[in-house]
Structure formats: structure tokens, C-alpha cells
Amino acid sequence: MSGLPRQKIAAYLAAVFVAGTAAGLAGGYQWGRRAAFRPMSRPRESMMQRITTDYQLRPDQVAKIEPIVNDVSQRMHQLQRDQFKQIGALMKECNTRMSEFLDADQKQRLAEREARHEKWLKEHQERGAEGRGGPAPGRPRGGDPARKP
């Protein structure tokens, strides 16, 4: 390494590290913004728009097809709600079965985590009922609401 002084090598390594960190932060931010579940009203509207545009539907065709799309969308919405409830029941079962192997402190932390999660669910469902449409998502953007940072 007679060609490059140590300071230059250190500067290059630092630049690569900073660039990698910036790329990781940007990617993590974008990934965290994705919603796990989306309300069904928007997919219904976008589906109808896509069908209308792709097939160049006439107004009379739109009038006949739109009720079909609405019906399927409502059924998808109900399926999403049912799955959300089933997943919640499975998680409660997991916690119950797991708790028999935890000590008192760990059980306390599990109970606190469950309480935070229940509080988040209640708040999120109330926000969803205020006119945004669709079911409340299973998780907030950015991860598990019950996990402490």
C-alpha cells in the first residue's frame, strides 16, 4: 500500500460507510411506510377504474359491472376482518401456552405487551370508524405496536 496514504484509505472507507448507512436508512424508511393491510374501499375504486380503462367500458357496462365489483369487494372486506380476528385468537392462544414457561417478571412483561396491543387496536378501530373506510389494519406502519423501541 505504498500508493495511498492511510488517511486517504480511511476517508474512502468512511465515505463508503456513510453511503451505505444513508442507503439503508432510505430503504428502511420506504419499507416501513408500507401498510400491511389496506382498506377495501380504495382497491374497489382502483379496480373499477382499471377495469373501466383497460376494457374501455361503456357507461351501460359500468352500470352492470360495478355492482359485481362492489359485491366482491364487500366479501373481501369481510374475509379480511374474519382473518384478522382469527389471527388475534391464535396470538392469544400462543401467549397463553407460552406463559406457562415464563417466570413472574416475564409474565408481567407479556401482560403489559398485550395491554399495549389491545389499546392500540381499540384506538385504531375507532380511527377506522371515523370515515376512512375499510377495516383497521393489523399493524401500524413501521411495525408491531406492542414492541417497545
Q: In the chain, what is the greatest distance between 2 CA atoms, to the nearest angstrom? A: 79
Q: Judge if pTM exceeds 0.75.
A: no
Amino acid identity of residue 15, one-letter, is A
Is it the case that residue 18 has pLDDT exceeding 90?
A: no
Mean pLDDT over 18-43 rounds to 72
The pLDDT of residue 111 is 93
84 CB neighbour count, 10 Å cutoff: 16
Q: For a pLDDT cut of 70, what percent of the chain falls above it?
A: 77
Residue 34's pLDDT band, with cuts at 50, 70 and 90, is: low
Each residue of 47-81: pLDDT tens digit? Answer: 899 999 999 999 999 999 999 999 998 998 899 88
Mean pLDDT over 86-98 rounds to 92
Q: How far apart are CA 121 and CA 127, in angstroms?
A: 10
Residues ≥6 apart with Cβ < 8 Å to 41: 73, 133, 134
Cell numbers given for 101: 414457561
Q: Which of 5, 7, 3 is nearest to 15 (CA)?
A: 7
Is it the case that residue 15 has pLDDT exceeding 80?
A: yes
40 CB neighbour count, 10 Å cutoff: 22
The pLDDT of residue 141 is 46
33 CB neighbour count, 10 Å cutoff: 9
Mean pLDDT over 77-90 rounds to 90
Residue 147's pLDDT band, with cuts at 50, 70 and 90, is: low
Q: How far apart are CA 72 and CA 78, in angstroms?
A: 10
Q: Break the chain into its structural domains and give their ranges.
A: 1-33
Q: Which of 94, 85, 141, 128 is nearest to 114 (CA)?
A: 94
